[in-house]
Copies of this chain bind each other. A is one copy, B any other.
Amino acid sequence: MRIRVGIVGISGFGGGEALRLVAGHPSFELVYAAGEGSAGSRLADRFPGLPARLAGLVIEKWDPEALPQLDLLFASLPTGASAEALARVPRAVKIVDIGGDHRAAEGWTYGLADIWPERIAGQSRIANPGCFPAAALTALAPLLADGLIEPGNIVIDAKTGISGAGRGGADSRFGYAESNETLVPYGLLQHVHMPEMARAIERLSGGSAAGLVFTPHLVPMTRGLLATIYGRGRATTAQCLEAARRFYAGRAFIRVTDRPPQTKWATGSNLAFVSYAADPAREVVIALGVVDNLGKGAAGQAVQNANLICGLPDTAGLEGMPVWP
């Protein structure tokens, strides 16, 4: 059975990675690609490595009421740009929204696919997690579920590659010469991803996340995201690792490692790596979560969610090894 797939936001980095994964998926057939700036151009002109069988596709102007027959739509639009338009997509079309508009919206299921897969299967409207929450919550979930750290006293120091800032490009701050060879902290005590993480921490722990602190940084690399998380608790390193191995038993995409993971371990894949170091004497627990911000942090997790809502194995089309070096 072929599933007819569309992607809107094809010119952005998230949309481009969705294209790569859909093109390699055993059950998906790309029949529709839409963008704003790129509408009217051939998809192959934008993606010189496009498979020959997709060479006939033209990038359409995005119009939710003029879709071809679709089973599934990936939406990767800038935050603020998708809520109104996606409401007009026919109910029969399943949607995974990679963008940020529906993560707290009624009628949408928050798609942490390795943590709550059973809530996702059977749905038709999935809000994909943000890239920072994907890394941080994957590392935190086992600790919160087992009560190994206090939910109200968590510091997340996160670092992302620059593709996480989107393809906007119009902003010279993200130009190569200015972004290269520099490390940029931003959004101190006010980043847009903080409420999303607080909600999930509360759901995972049953407690309040009131004290949550989150600091994002831009790192001079294209892809990759690491959350270094500081929690309070008396657990040992071994207890944390064991809790994570138990929590993620049977999950294909989560790797619990003894040594600290680096971001390149995940590049180009849907994998997430988590590790832990704890010192009961200082009552500190460090949790590390690594993802590819465009993989598990965006399009990879989106395809995993799509697999779940289409009744496929969640690993379909996502089994490629990371690209190294």
Contact = CB atoms under 8 A, between A and B. Distances in A.
A221 B183 CA distance: 9
A180 B180 CA distance: 9
A261 interface: yes
Contacts of A157: 157, 228, 230
Nearest to A52: B252
Interface in A244-284: 252, 255, 257, 260-269, 271, 273, 277-279, 282-284
A263 B170 contact: no
Nearest to A172: B169
A176 B165 CA distance: 10
Interface string A218-259: 011111101010100000000000000000000010010100
A177 interface: yes
A288 B188 CA distance: 10
* Number of this chain's copies in the complex: 4
Given A169-B172, A257-B48, A260-B186, A181 B273 contact: no
A236 to B, nearest CB: 12
Interface string A188-204: 11000000000000000
A210 interface: yes
Contacts of A56: none
A167 B163 contact: no
Contacts of A219: 159, 183, 219-220
Nearest to A223: B181
Contacts of A271: 49
B167 A286 contact: no
A267 B217 CA distance: 18
Given A220-B219, A325-B163, A284 B228 contact: no
Contact of A321 (B51, B173, B266, B277): B51
B23 A263 contact: no
Contacts of A226: 183, 185, 217
A171 interface: yes
A261 to B, nearest CB: 7
Contacts of A180: 162, 176, 180, 220-222, 325
Given A169-B170, A221-B182, A221-B183, A321 B47 contact: yes
A322 interface: yes
B324 A47 contact: yes
28 contacts: A20-B323, A23-B321, A47-B324, A48-B265, A49-B255, A49-B269, A51-B319, A52-B252, A157-B157, A159-B217, A162-B177, A165-B177, A169-B173, A169-B175, A170-B172, A176-B180, A176-B220, A177-B325, A180-B222, A181-B181, A182-B221, A183-B226, A188-B277, A189-B278, A210-B282, A211-B283, A219-B219, A320-B320
Given A24-B319, A49-B322, A155-B284, 7 more contacts: A13-B177, A49-B255, A49-B271, A170-B170, A174-B177, A175-B175, A213-B282
* 8 nearest CB pairs, A to B: A169-B172, A182-B264, A188-B277, A176-B179, A49-B322, A169-B175, A163-B177, A157-B157
